[in-house]
Amino acid sequence: MKKPVAQMLLIACILGGPASLACGQSLYLRKPKVAVNERGEVDPGAMLKEVSMTYIDPPKPKTFKIHDQVTIIVDETSRESSKQTLDTKKDYDNSAGLSKFPSLEALLDLQLQGGGNDNSAELGIDSKQKFKGEGTYDRSDRFSARITAKVIDVKPNGILVLEARKTIQKNEEHQSIVMSGQCRTEDVSNANTVLSSQLAELTLISQQEGQVKDAATKGWIPRIIEALFAF
């Protein structure tokens, strides 16, 4: 039985050459094609997917459309501090003398007569002015909130333009918040949130009306006094 098999192999070598015998060997296999993703980039997990039994496809990048919603986590802190000191000093001294002082009777009679040298009068003016002022300004603000924004535009490079409006009214208190900014698509987390620190061209306007604002606002009389005695 072994002899006919050997003869058949010999005939195959003569007819097809050595390539026909080695067609089952890995050296003669074609190189596998490189797998790419939808964006034309090399996908290293494609070959692993074919041989692994525990392979899990990575999550696809998020895509957003106009009018989609994204929650913005706002945590903004600002602090302003300034100090100014002014110190001025001015001295003024002036003196004058009158060698001849007219008599009172001559003045009443409209007659001017020269008086003696012993009636000379002297006039002196001395003025000193000094001012010292010091002012300090220190202010610290912090704003924290969660607000849901709407996608109003999607740029060709994937940049999202967000805009949010929120109005809160309780009893006589009224608060309105307007916020806008731009963020990258990859900055949006899996929970569909983005930090305010990741927004470019951030604009945040917060206005409040009611008794709380009125209690914290100075009245007209303190304003007038501060305007008059500002220096």
CB proximity list for 69: less than 8 A, separation 6 or greater? 148, 149, 150, 151, 192
Domain contains 158: yes
Q: How many domains does the chain have?
A: 3
Domain contains 181: yes
Q: Is 186 found in the same domain as 75? A: yes
Each residue of 6-46: pLDDT tens digit?
566 556 555 555 444 444 455 555 555 666 666 667 776 66
Q: Is 128 found in the same domain as 37? A: no
Each residue of 89-145: pLDDT tens digit?
777 666 665 555 556 665 566 655 544 545 555 556 666 777 777 777 677 778 888
Q: Is 132 found in the same domain as 94? A: yes
Q: Is 184 found in the same domain as 166? A: yes
pLDDT for 21: 46
Confidence check: pLDDT of 225 > 80? no
Q: Is 76 found in the same domain as 166? A: yes
Q: Is 206 found in the same domain as 164? A: yes
Domain contains 230: no
Q: Is 148 found in the same domain as 97? A: no
Confidence check: pLDDT of 218 > 70? no
pLDDT for 155: 92
Sequential DSSP letters for the chain: -HHHHHHHHHHHHHHH-HHHHTTTSGGGSPPPPPPB-TTS-B-THHHHHHH-SS--PPPPPP---TT-EEEEEEEEEEEEEEEEEEEEEEEEEEEEEES----HHHHHTT------GGG-EEEEEEEEEEEEEEEEEEEEEEEEEEEEEEEEEE-TTSPEEEEEEEEEEETTEEEEEEEEEEE-GGGS-TTSEEEGGG-EEEEEEEEEESHHHHHHS--HHHHHHHHHT--
Q: Is 191 found in the same domain as 101? A: no
Each residue of 177-206: pLDDT tens digit?
899 999 999 999 989 999 999 999 999 888
**Looking at residues 58-82, what average pLDDT do you find?**
84
Phi, psi of 97 (to 5 degrees): -130, 150
CA distance 63 to 77: 31
Q: Is 154 found in the same domain as 207? A: yes
Phi, psi of 104 (to 5 degrees): -70, -35
Question: What's the domain range around 35?
Answer: 2-51
Q: Is 148 found in the same domain as 183? A: yes
Q: Is 146 found in the same domain as 129? A: no
Q: Is 157 found in the same domain as 77? A: yes
Most confident of 38-42, 65-69, 74-78, 225-229: 65-69
pLDDT for 220: 72
pTM score of the predicted model: 0.50
